[in-house]
Structure 1
């Protein structure tokens, strides 16, 4: 994984540094999608929607697509069918959405944990890990209830355990961008600059030009 903690505007990459970053990214992506991964509360849906707007791409939220397909909410799917069944459906939905690309896709926190899903994302997309600190995540998730995995006596400890379990796997993503307490537009810009460096950096210029 290329760890790119973007805090200042990065210089444009690629063979045509004077063109807008949006055009460079669209060309470099081709038919691939941008897939956002990370824990609940990392801002995947909010950032993803704005990122899609900047790039002129469709935005899809995997959890919303799963709910539409099942005609049930995520908590109800967990309660009725269990997490294993939910993960099976999640894998199928993400595979379908990637085939429909290019788009910006926000995935659920556990999606990237499945090897088959990671392989599918690598084949048809570029993965971006939005990484947030524990206090940031907890502050955000407390504003919105209904998180099945946090229905425990100590949600903060549960989140800490999820971070310990999932962060090493999220680390396999192509790009990491900190999800900080700054404006959503700033995080979107960070994502775009990190993707530009990953896709259009010196080692990839020849690939991007093909």
Structure 2
């Protein structure tokens, strides 16, 4: 799989499997893996919920854009982005111009199962997380599809890995 050139960038809603899948695929490809949210936390020294509390979503999005620009400048990496990374046009352009963008498409009901017990997701700390996931899905699905070079259904883990690797082989 070394013949796959450039960065591999994973986008999708929270819980789509970007980080878990990204780490695994990076190992298979022999590449470095970065999670933009993790890198934001490492560089700021605080959690994402803390950034949201202190700076609001706008402050977090500013940090996210700066981090995406920094990471996209790397070569031959696997990058997992935060679910809202595609909200800004500058981010979408940055991602598309610096790698192969893969949208891990997942239905809101599946996302809820995967994120149900995760308190590190500020947007889901609401009365009805499924309604919130459906709202995010309805707002972002079109943007993810427009940004991605490849769309992969993300339900069963191993099938998703296989689909992703097959899709990358076909585009190489």
TM-score range, shorter chain: over 0.9
The answer to whether the Cα contact below 8 Å between 2:119 and 2:125 also exists between their aligned partners in 1 is no
The CA distance in 1 between the partners of 2:165 and 2:141, in whole Å, is 22
* Pair 1:179 & 2:154 matched: yes
Q: Which runs of 5+ in 2 are unaligned?
A: none
By relative contact order (CA 8 Å, sep 6+), the higher-ranking structure is: 1
The answer to whether the Cα contact below 8 Å between 1:50 and 1:185 also exists between their aligned partners in 2 is no
Moved over 6 A (4+): none
The CA distance in 2 between the partners of 1:188 and 1:60, in whole Å, is 17
The CA distance in 1 between the partners of 2:96 and 2:102, in whole Å, is 11
Q: Which of structures 1 and 2 has the bigger CA Rg?
A: 1
* Pair 1:105 & 2:82 matched: no
TM-score, L = length of structure 2: 0.95
* Pair 1:120 & 2:94 matched: yes
TM-score, L = length of structure 1: 0.79
Give matches, 1:187-206, under 5 Å: 187-197=160-170, 199-200=171-172
Q: Which runs of 5+ in 1 are unaligned?
A: 1-21, 201-210
Task: Give the drift of 1:185.
Answer: 3.2
Considering only aligned residues, what root-mean-square deviation do their CA atoms show, in Å? 1.1
Q: How many pairs does the alignment contain? A: 171
The answer to whether the Cα contact below 8 Å between 1:62 and 1:105 also exists between their aligned partners in 2 is yes
Task: Give the drift of 1:186.
Answer: 2.8
2:3 match: secondary structure: helix
